[in-house]
Amino acid sequence: MIFLDNAGTTKMFDECVDIHRVFSCEKFYNPSAMSNESLKIAKLISETEQYLLKELDAKEGNIIFTGCATESNNLAIKGSLRSGNWEYVFSEGEHPSVFNVAKKLQLEGNIVHIIKLNERGQVDLIELEKVLNEKTRLISVMHVSNETGAVNDIDKISKLKDKICPKAILHVDGVQAFKKIPFSLRKTSVDLYTFSASKIHGPKGVSALYVKNKNSLKEVFQGGGQQYGLRSGTENVSGIMQFRKAVELIDTDKNYQNVAHLKELMKQELKYVDGIEILDFEGSPYVLNVVFNGVKGETMLHALEQNGVIVGLGSACSAKKAGNRVLEAIGVSKEKVVSSVRISFNAYQTEEEIEKVSKIIVEVYKDIKKRMM
């Protein structure tokens, strides 16, 4: 089976499996306890926090470990809420774990601005500049779209925030960007940054939230006060250590070049096939949208799986819902949306695999079209 739904999840590195056994069966101690063994574990977590700050190229701040990116995004947004006449800004392109929180805030009577996307799938900076003001409390935007691969210019968004509402909090969902595209927090005004292990060949069940200033955030549930009082509960030590190992194993620049080559190879194999349309938003090389005119995307997905290829229909968190909110927001017709699939690569796939998949895609599409005649 060739897996091309890597924006949804990735196969875990073998090295992470070995670490899981060590920290689950041998060094299994609770980092909040007072034994010497527990203190050693707490120190390892602290060292991992500093290591990840360095990987983010952050000048200052802390790392809060969570159970998933959805939790990190919710902590970032809900932990930033304050009473009063504040305004909150999101974009149409956000992941459901951000977008659905924004819609809930609207229903609760908060002033929420949903910024449109431009034709390339990026946050419309002209509209963003118009809605920002001194009452803006939070701006939450995605770094790289999980649906299209579109990359938002975090530097420009940071400068807009600094110019218009310097006291506002800037949260960035970086799940599809961390260790996939070159990036430095040091050069931005980002206050909160979400990233996750399962998208970079680490384990499921552990993610993180970068927090520049702990005082800007408040806890969203109560407990024993772990992790600076912002995320109570015993830390997932094994998951955190596996997360670090995954980060250590990734060469961002080398992987980027390899994936860009694989994506271009597939585009060349598909672009001249009658009925197949490539939606390339010139963003991250890790994501490619393909429209199979006349055939539903779901039909292609199941037919491809029967032929040994797994692709996606967009965010796994909303895959069972009809349509694709993000593609429609960019202006892709509903007819094309229904006929589209999301192909997402990982850097450890080969030219041979991509060439094989491309041929399978073409054969499957032509076969379905023939049987429909």
pLDDT at 322: 55
pLDDT at 315: 53
Q: How confident is the model at residue 318 (pLDDT cuts 50, 70, 90)?
A: very low
Domain boundaries, the chain: 2-9+251-372, 14-249
Q: pLDDT (tens digit, 9 = 90+) per residue, 262-285?
A: 999 999 999 999 999 999 888 999
Q: pLDDT (tens digit, 9 = 90+) per residue, 62-120?
A: 999 999 999 999 999 999 999 999 999 999 999 999 999 999 999 999 999 999 999 99
Q: How confident is the model at residue 371 (pLDDT cuts 50, 70, 90)?
A: confident
**Given 3.20.20.210, 3.20.20.120, 3.40.50.300, 3.40.640.10, which CATH number is that of 14-249?**
3.40.640.10
Average pLDDT over residues 301-306: 98
| Domain range 2-9+251-372, CATH class | alpha beta
Average pLDDT over residues 316-327: 66
Q: pLDDT (tens digit, 9 = 90+) per residue, 18-46?
A: 999 999 999 999 999 999 999 999 999 99
Q: pLDDT (tens digit, 9 = 90+) per residue, 122-169?
A: 999 999 999 999 999 999 999 999 999 999 999 999 999 999 999 999
Supply the mean pLDDT for the chain. Answer: 95
pLDDT at 319: 47
**How far apart are the C-alpha atoms of 2 and 5, rounded to whole Å?**
9
Q: What is the pTM of this model?
A: 0.95
- 354 and 344 Cβ atoms separated by less than 8 Å: no
Average pLDDT over residues 43-50: 98
pLDDT at 309: 98
The two three-digit tokens of residue 315, written as one number? 């965010």
pLDDT at 314: 62
**How far apart are the C-alpha atoms of 109 and 307, rounded to whole Å?**
49
Phi, psi of 309 (to 5 degrees): -130, 130
Which of 372, 279, 366 lies closest to 328 in space, CA to CA?
A: 279
- 260 and 347 Cβ atoms separated by less than 8 Å: no
Spot the catalytic one: 16, 25, 165, 317: 317
User: Has residue 245 got a pLDDT over 90?
Assistant: yes
User: Has residue 363 got a pLDDT over 60?
Assistant: yes
Q: Assess whether 16 carries a catalytic annotation.
A: no
User: Has residue 316 got a pLDDT over 60?
Assistant: no
pLDDT at 372: 83
pLDDT at 104: 97
